[in-house]
Amino acid sequence: MKLFVYHAPEQTPADQIPDCAVVIDVLRATTTIATALHYGAEAVQVFSDIDELLAVSADWPAENRIRAGERGGQAVPGCDLGNSPLDYRSQSAVAGKRLFMSTTNGTRALQRVQSAPLVVTAAQINRQAAVDFLLAKEPETVWLLGSGWQGAYALEDTVCAGAIADALPEMTPGNDEAVAAVSLWQQWQASLLTLFQQASHGQRLLRLQGDADLTYCAQSDQLDVLPIQTSPGVLIANPA
């Protein structure tokens, strides 16, 4: 298994696609996706464009849908909810519903790799589920794709990529970023919340009173669910 880490979709090689892409947006899109599917959401469908989200979701029964929109860390007017994973942490809120979702970076990262044969999402909260999936499938090439922030590096996504890579004894690093990600994880694994509080997007969320979100997102291996793409842009809980 050759494993490449990319900090943001803009940094991936334009003419390539891996056998398996693991999309990571710890703060907060892939934490929210895992949480919603864990609590019984039927599926999560992602969009880069809010207008497209509103148009497509209009054909869905209102009682069976949640429109989730986030820009700059804040909920988008006209959507039902924003991107706080805490809002999706109950069966009464999400069970049986489809989440129509658009976020600043995470949903764009998913779109970059949506043509890969295997696409899953990971965050700290379901890291072990992603590790188990990679160990079982043994894809030849894997991209751990951070969502970053508008093309730039994000500490929280890279440390999660390192946490996954470090648990794969048979992997060969495909780029220097993979080696660096493992070092970042080894340095910070016992104090992830402190790291997230220093991260630029962590600080943005703290300014928006997102303390509880950071605490939730910094937990490791709390959910067994693995979101997996079944058609471009649509993710369900991996039935395997």
What are the angstrom distances between the C-alpha of 190 and each of 153, 195, 232?
21, 10, 36
**Tokens 């030849």 sit on residue:** 140
Of 70 and 87, which CB lies nearer to ligand MLT in the complex structure? 70
Of 38 and 201, which CB lies nearer to ligand MLT in the complex structure? 201
158 binds ligand MLT (CB under 6 A): no
Alpha helices per DSSP H over the chain? 29-38, 50-57, 91-94, 106-112, 127-137, 155-166, 176-188, 192-198, 200-207, 211-217
207 DSSP 8-state letter: H
Minimum CB distance to ligand MLT, residue 104 (Å): 4
Of 3 and 27, which CB lies nearer to ligand MLT in the complex structure? 27
The amino acid that residue 119 corresponds to is V
**Using CB under 6 A, which residues numbered 126 to 145 contact ligand MLT?**
none
Q: Record the tokens describing residue 100, joined without a space.
A: 């129509």
Q: Record the tokens describing residue 54, joined without a space.
A: 């509103």
* Binder among 7, 28, 38, 127 for ligand MLT (CB under 6 A): 28
Of 57 and 84, which CB lies nearer to ligand MLT in the complex structure? 84
27 binds ligand MLT (CB under 6 A): yes
Of 177 and 213, which CB lies nearer to ligand MLT in the complex structure? 213
Minimum CB distance to ligand MLT, residue 123 (Å): 10
83 binds ligand MLT (CB under 6 A): yes
**Using CB under 6 A, which residues numbered 62 to 81 contact ligand MLT?**
70, 73
156 binds ligand MLT (CB under 6 A): no
The terminus-to-terminus CA distance of the chain in angstroms comes to: 21
Fill in the per-residue mask, 89 to 108: x = in contact with ligand MLT (CB under 6 A), - = not in contact.
Answer: --------------xxxx--
How far is the C-alpha of 167 from the C-alpha of 163, rounded, in Å? 7
* Binder among 8, 21, 29, 33 for ligand MLT (CB under 6 A): 29
How far is the C-alpha of 122 from the C-alpha of 145, rounded, in Å? 10
Supply φ then ψ for residue 232, to 5 degrees. Answer: -50, 120
**Tokens 């220093």 sit on residue:** 198
Minimum CB distance to ligand MLT, residue 141 (Å): 25
Compute how many residues bind ligand MLT; rule: CB under 6 A.
13
- Angle of helix 155-166 versus helix 176-188 axis, rounded to 10: 90
Where along the sequence are the contacts to ligand MLT (CB under 6 A)?
Answer: 25, 27-29, 70, 73, 83, 103-106, 147, 205
